[in-house]
């Protein structure tokens, strides 16, 4: 599955779920508000009918509006009450709304019921008329607090944002997990394809190399014997040419041996040994090359590390990496070799201060017969990786053009020595 398909098949349902949840939450809040307002309307209407009957009876007894409203001012949830005459002049009123009666003849809606926003929340308003026994017309204005509805809606909104946040985070976590699994699967698939291609290529090269090595070895042996005979029979003035010929044959033989070694399976002879001692031995063997190139070698191994593995093969790893670092360095630069433990894994690092490796070349550098040096055969780093992987370890590099290169080897099973 491509990355674009993951985005499409996950992101679209994800957004759809969040949209549906938002819509359902909105409709639920609207239903709650409508239901509570309906109940408030019914309750306020019933309260108004009772109050109008009581007020009418008291007015018929010649009670003043002030005394009548004093008796009714303690009603729960009735936020304000006002008695008006037929011309809508306020005769008397009581209010819990900070001593203020929010009434305006000009702005009063024509409807009997309406909702008003206020600093103390929503207030449900009721305005209706009634007549006394004497036929005089009065108006009753009531305000009913909807604070409980406001609290309920506020709690509903908080819950909505909380659940929406949880869903969003959960969706992102699930997506991140799926994306990482997909990326891991893609990497594993690419690595499997690469290894399959490498194995196929290696089989072809191995067959070709084995045939070439076999065909070259016999003539080389004959030439070596011939030069031995010539060295004994020839006059002294030909000795330099014969020695040069013998040297060239030995070089060809070394190349053939390296190619032959490349195709052989590795068999480990495991033993415990000191990695620090191994590093010192290999660096000592490369001091001549270091002096020729005027490159210093610095070892940073603060703790003694014991390794279990094939000492000879791991010595080749250290030797090849340090040798490559020296060859990549210029006069006055430094090669740093670091060894230590990290979570029971042995970490070996060889870092140079050379020109670095081009990013496009890093993926090919461990492949057989791939070399970016003029005289390289492309065998050394392949063998290094082969040895490390046979020890169930891994090798990788960090490099930036102009900032040097660092090869890092991780081997399992290390311990302090």
| Secondary structure letter of residue 111 according to DSSP | S
Contact (Cβ atoms closer than 8 angstroms) between residue 298 and residue 279: no
Q: Minimal CA–CA distance to 347: which of 339, 358, 355, 357?
A: 339
Residues 372, 378, 382, 384: is their CA dihedral positive or negative? Answer: negative
Residue 131 pLDDT: 92
Global pTM?
Answer: 0.47
Residue 376 pLDDT: 54
Contact (Cβ atoms closer than 8 angstroms) between residue 168 and residue 19: no
Residue 13 pLDDT: 76
Q: Can you tell me whether residue 97 is helix, strand or coil?
A: coil
Fold of 3-145: Beta-Lactamase (3.30.450)
Q: Can you tell me whether residue 343 is helix, strand or coil?
A: coil
Rg (CA), the chain: 47
Letter string b/e over residues 170-183, b meaning 16 or more CB atoms within 10 A of that residue's CB: ebeeeeeeeeeebe
Q: Rounded to an integer, what distance in angstroms lies between the CA atom of residue 312 and that of residue 317?
A: 9
Helical axes 275-285 vs 311-327, angle rounded to 10°: 50
Fold of 270-416: Heat Shock Protein 90 (3.30.565)
For 332, phi and psi rounded to 5 degrees? 90, -10
In this prediction, the residues of the chain whose per-residue pLDDT falls under 70 are 1-10, 119-120, 148-150, 198-215, 217-218, 251, 254-265, 368-378, 414, 416-417
Domain spans of the chain? 3-145, 187-262, 270-416
Contact (Cβ atoms closer than 8 angstroms) between residue 60 and residue 132: yes
Q: Rounded to an integer, what distance in angstroms lies between the CA atom of residue 285 and that of residue 119?
A: 88
Burial bucket for residue 306 (CB in 10 Å: 0-12, 13-18, 19+): middle
Q: Rounded to an integer, what distance in angstroms lies between the CA atom of residue 57 and that of residue 405?
A: 102
Q: Can you tell me whether residue 89 is helix, strand or coil?
A: coil
Residue 371 pLDDT: 62
Token pair in block for residue 394: 């891994």
DSSP 227-282: HHHHHHHS-GGGHHHHHHHHHHHHHHHHHHHHHHHHTSPP---EEEEEHHHHHHHH
Beta-carbon contacts of 1 under 8 Å, excluding residues fewer than 6 positions away, are 9, 182
Burial bucket for residue 10 (CB in 10 Å: 0-12, 13-18, 19+): middle
Contact (Cβ atoms closer than 8 angstroms) between residue 86 and residue 136: yes
Q: For 149-156, which contacts have Cβ atoms below 8 Å and span 24 or more sequence positions?
A: 149/32, 149/33, 149/36, 149/37, 149/40, 149/122, 150/121, 150/122, 152/32, 152/36, 153/29, 153/32, 153/33, 156/25, 156/28, 156/29, 156/32
| Beta strands 405-412; 394-399: pairing state | antiparallel
Residue 295 pLDDT: 92
Reported as type and span, the H/E element at residue 401 is none
Give pLDDT tens digits for 238-247: 777 777 777 7
Contact (Cβ atoms closer than 8 angstroms) between residue 355 and residue 402: yes
Residue 279 pLDDT: 92
For 375, phi and psi rounded to 5 degrees? -105, 10
DSSP 135-181: --EEEEEEEEE-HHHHHHHHHHHHHHHHHHHHHHHHHHHHHHHHHHH
Reported as type and span, the H/E element at residue 117 is strand 113-118
């Amino acid at each position: 599955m491509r990355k674009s398909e993951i985005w499409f098949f996950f992101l679209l349902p994800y957004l759809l779920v969040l949209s549906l949840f938002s819509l359902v939450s909105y409709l639920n809040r609207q239903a709650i508000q409508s239901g509570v307002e309906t109940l408030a309307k019914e309750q306020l209407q019933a309260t108004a009918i009772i109050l109008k009957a009581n007020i009418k009876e008291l007015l018929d007894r010649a009670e003043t509006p002030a005394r009548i409203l004093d008796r009714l001012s303690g009603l729960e949830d009735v936020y304000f009450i006002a008695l008006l005459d037929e011309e809508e002049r306020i005769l008397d009123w009581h209010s819990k709304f900070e001593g203020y009666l929010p009434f305006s003849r000009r702005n009063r809606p024509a409807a009997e019921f309406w909702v008003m926003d206020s600093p103390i929340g929503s207030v449900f308003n009721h305005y209706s008329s009634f007549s006394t026994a004497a036929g005089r017309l009065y108006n009753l204005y009531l305000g009913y607090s909807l604070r409980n509805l406001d609290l309920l809606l506020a709690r509903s909104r908080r819950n909505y944002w909380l659940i929406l946040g949880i869903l969003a985070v959960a969706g992102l976590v699930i997506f991140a997990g799926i994306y990482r699994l997909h990326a891991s699967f893609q990497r594993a698939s690419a690595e499997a394809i690469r290894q399959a291609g490498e194995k196929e290529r290696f089989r072809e090269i191995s067959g070709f190399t084995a045939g070439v090595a076999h065909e070259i070895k016999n003539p080389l042996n004959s030439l070596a014997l011939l030069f031995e005979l010539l060295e004994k029979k020839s006059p002294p003035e030909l000795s330099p040419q014969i020695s040069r010929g013998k040297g060239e044959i030995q070089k060809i033989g070394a190349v053939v041996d390296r190619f032959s070694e490349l195709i052989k399976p590795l068999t480990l002879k495991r033993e415990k040994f000191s990695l620090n001692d191994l590093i010192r031995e290999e660096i000592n063997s490369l001091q001549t090359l270091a002096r020729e190139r005027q490159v210093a070698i610095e070892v940073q191994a603060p703790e003694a590390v014991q390794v279990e593995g094939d000492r000879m093969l791991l010595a080749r790893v250290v030797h090849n990496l340090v040798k490559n670092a020296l060859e990549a360095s210029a006069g006055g630069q430094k090669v740093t070799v670091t060894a230590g433990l990290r979570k029971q894994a042995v970490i070996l690092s060889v870092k140079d201060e050379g020109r670095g490796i081009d990013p496009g070349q890093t993926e090919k550098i461990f492949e057989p017969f791939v070399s970016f040096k003029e005289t390289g055969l492309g065998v050394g780093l392949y063998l290094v990786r082969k040895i490390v992987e046979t020890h169930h370890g891994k090798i990788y590099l960090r490099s930036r053009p102009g900032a040097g290169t660092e090869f890092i080897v991780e081997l399992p099973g290390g311990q302090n020595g």
